Amino acid sequence: RGVPSNSDALVVGLVGTMTGPDSWRGEEAYEGADLAIHDLNEGRGSDRRPFRLQTLDDRGDPEAAANMVRDLAGLDRTVGIIYAGPPEALPDAEAALASRGIPAILLYGDLYAAKALTAHTFQMGPSLLWEARRLASYVSEDRGYRKVGALLEFSEEGGTAQTALQSALRDQGLPRAKVV
């Protein structure tokens, strides 16, 4: 399934929550990453080193996730890391990523709005800050609403979304905007 047994293979790491309440993150990321590695290897000539997907389960533990990213960054054959774990953990591994020039790509979360982007971390999803600004513009200018309800996840990411939406609503002239 696209995972060569060649010990000389280039490693693409996947650190994700594969078990526990947020296991959807890791499971979804694995499906895409496994297919991508398979496709990459199919298109490479036999004279080129293949890619191997190295999957690690952080079980939703931010400290374990950051350590796993550091460990992968320490491998000579690692060329990149796909990250589908707790978003707040990824910036903690910046020094290890920087020392090897390895990018880590966050699949689910918003480092930009949390002001946690670093030189070697990237995010695939749109910024919650950008989305909040668009939503606030829509509800105040297009719809003329004075009250807005939002259903947010009770997590660090949900808190970031709440703060971004409150700020964007205030910027749109709803000074007593409250998001709970």
Q: Residue 6 has what pLDDT? A: 55
Q: Residue 62 has what pLDDT? A: 95
76/124 Cα distance (integer angstroms): 25
Q: 39: pLDDT confidence band, cut at 50, 70 and 90? A: very high
* 45-79 pLDDT tens trace: 777 899 999 999 999 999 999 999 999 999 999 99
Q: Residue 11 has what pLDDT? A: 96
82 forms beta bridges with 14, 105
Q: Residue 132 has what pLDDT? A: 87
Q: What DSSP designation does 2 have? A: -
Specify the amino acid at residue 135. L
Query: Which residue blocks in the chain are alpha helix, DSSP H?
Result: 23-42, 62-73, 94-100, 128-137, 156-171
The more confidently predicted of residues 114 and 180 is: 114
48/57 Cα distance (integer angstroms): 29
Apex 53 CA angle, 47 and 57, nearest 5 = 165
DSSP-derived pairing of the beta strands 78-84 and 121-123 = unpaired
pTM to 2 decimals? 0.74
Specify the amino acid at residue 83. Y
Q: Residue 176 has what pLDDT? A: 67
Distance of CA 172 to the CA centre of its chain: 29
Q: 117: pLDDT confidence band, cut at 50, 70 and 90? A: confident
* 130-154 pLDDT tens trace: 888 888 888 888 888 777 777 777 8
Phi, psi of 134 (to 5 degrees): -65, -45
Q: Residue 1 has what pLDDT? A: 34
How many helices (H) and strands (E) would you count in the chain? Answer: 5, 5
Give the tokens for residue 110. 């918003």
Mean pLDDT of the chain: 87
Nearest alpha-carbon partner for 166 in 120, 135, 121, 124: 135
Q: 178: pLDDT confidence band, cut at 50, 70 and 90? A: low
Q: What DSSP designation does 138 have? A: I
As a whole number of angstroms, the longest Cα–Cα distance in the chain is 64
